[in-house]
Amino acid sequence: MNNFWITVGHTVNRRLKSKAFMWSTLTMVLLIIGLMNAGQIIAVFSDEDEGGSSQRIAVVDETTDDAIGDMLEGYEDGPFDYVNYTEGDEEDAIAAAENEEYEYVLALSGDAVDLNVDFYGDDNDFTIGQEINQDVQNVKEAVVTSELDLDEDELEMIHAPISFNEQPLTPDGEVQTEESQMQAYWMVYVLVIAIYLIVITFGTMIATEVATEKSSRVMELIVSSVNPITQMLGKLVGIGVVGLVSLAALGASAGIGLTMSDDELLQTIIGEAPDMSLLLYALLFVILGYFLYGGLAAMLGALVSRAEEVNQALQPLIIVAMIAFFIAIFGLNTPDTTFIQVMSYIPFFAPQLLFLRIGMGTVPMWEVALIIGILLISAILFNILAARIYKGGVLMYGKFTFKNGIKQAVTMSRKEKS
């Protein structure tokens, strides 16, 4: 047991002090904070903030009512400065825009009820057209209601919001609000990606470390003093501890980024208190998924003689993890389909697919307990199998082949045992 903790401490200490870990963690922290504040960073360099002026839009009003252009010019909501263009027709306004007198041109024709709008602009941001469309729609509604001669009370009755309350159909049922549904969707989306990256990244880290020790012949000295199974489990736990430290750093950076950000969408998604039960499920599936994939990654790392062969050895495991990831991504909008339910019972897919089902739907507790039990037992059995192969694999050298490598490793493990 003492050798186990020595291996854990040595692995954690060496990884945390490595420059690669420090730089990669620092890069991820800065990237998360930067992405969560991308809007503010872009605004610093935008023309609007530099000049402090709104974008000018020439409005050519050729409608029969001849009132919308004037009303748009007095429209003060939003970031645009509408100018009722009376110095010529549509072509003159476009020529003026080409001479950079205006950023955009808005040509109106028809009447207030059947209004036709042509919008001219070279901007690639499609949201600008949507915002201008909404401004014109607001003005059109004001003109039409004015023509109908409606008083303020009648307008208030028309625009009064309805009281729309969603209630559960059954006594124990739950109804999700739009905010809670959006929060659950993005939490599941981000955490499914996180589970995939953690499993792949730290699985590769374990395999690379084992292969590097083998290629430098350090492994022969280690196995003479530490039982290979103890060594494998020690590395597995050690890399896992490093992963938790890395997760804590990324979580802290997300909190800092949220505090600094004024993005309304981001505040809506994660501004409310996160679902703690969902986060605990995510942590549980990360740990179980890590031990399932990590034990097999250590085994595959022990089968190769050089670090350059690690990617080739890990390829089957990475393909399985990718299949689980893509099924989870495509299943975000259909978490209750039979296909997703059946696939969530397969141990290699369970960490992502069961988490998807819990986050986006309703899963009976007995089913959650059953699948977690299958995943836990599978992780134990696969680690026992991996440990037996690992024991012979670390003493085996030569060209890597998957089938023969496992056979030779099992044979050598039996000889060591006898």
Checking if the pLDDT of 353 tops 80, the result is: yes
Lookup: tokens for 351: 């960490």
Of residues 18 and 169, more confidence is placed in: 18
Quote the pLDDT of residue 361: 76
- pLDDT at position 271 is 56
The model's confidence at residue 415, banded by pLDDT at 50, 70 and 90, is: low
Q: Are 295 and 368 in contact (CB under 8 A)?
A: no
- Higher-pLDDT residue of 255 and 327 is 327
**233/242 Cα distance (integer angstroms):** 14
Segment 270-297 shows an average pLDDT of 79
Query: What's the pLDDT at 176?
Result: 63
pLDDT (tens digit per residue) in 189-215: 777 787 778 777 877 888 887 777 776
Confidence of residue 66 (pLDDT cuts 50, 70, 90): confident
Taking the C-alpha atoms of residue 383 and residue 377, their distance in angstroms, rounded to an integer, is 10
317/264: higher pLDDT: 317
The pLDDT value recorded for residue 373 is 93
User: What span, in angstroms and rounded, lies between the C-alpha atoms of 287 and 294?
Assistant: 10
User: What is the mean predicted confidence (pLDDT) over 359-365?
Assistant: 82
* pLDDT for residue 277 is more than 90: no
Q: Model's pTM, two decimal places?
A: 0.66
CA-to-CA distance for 126 and 132, rounded, in angstroms?
A: 10
- Asked if the model's pLDDT at residue 370 lies above 90, the reply is yes
313-346 per-position pLDDT tens digit: 888 888 888 888 888 888 887 888 888 889 889 9
Q: How far apart are CA 70 and CA 143, in angstroms?
A: 11
Q: Which tens digit of pLDDT belongs to each residue from 105-124? A: 888 888 877 888 888 887 66
Q: Could you tell me if 212 and 302 are in contact, meaning their C-beta atoms sit under 8 angstroms apart?
A: no
Q: CA–CA separation, 307 vs 304, rounded Å?
A: 7
pLDDT of residue 298: 82
218-225 mean pLDDT: 64
Neighbours of 309 (CB within 10 A): 19
- Residue given tokens 């950076």 in the structure block: 253
The CB density around residue 28, as the number of other CB atoms within 10 Å, is 14
User: Sheet holding 115-120: strands in order across?
Assistant: 80-84, 55-63, 104-110, 115-120
Average model confidence (pLDDT) across the chain: 79
What are the backbone angles phi and psi of residue 56, rounded to the nearest 5°?
-90, 135
pLDDT band at 46 (very low <50, low <70, confident <90, very high): low
Overall average pLDDT of the 301-311 stretch: 76
Range name among 121-125, 252-256, 275-279, 282-286 with the lowest pLDDT average: 121-125
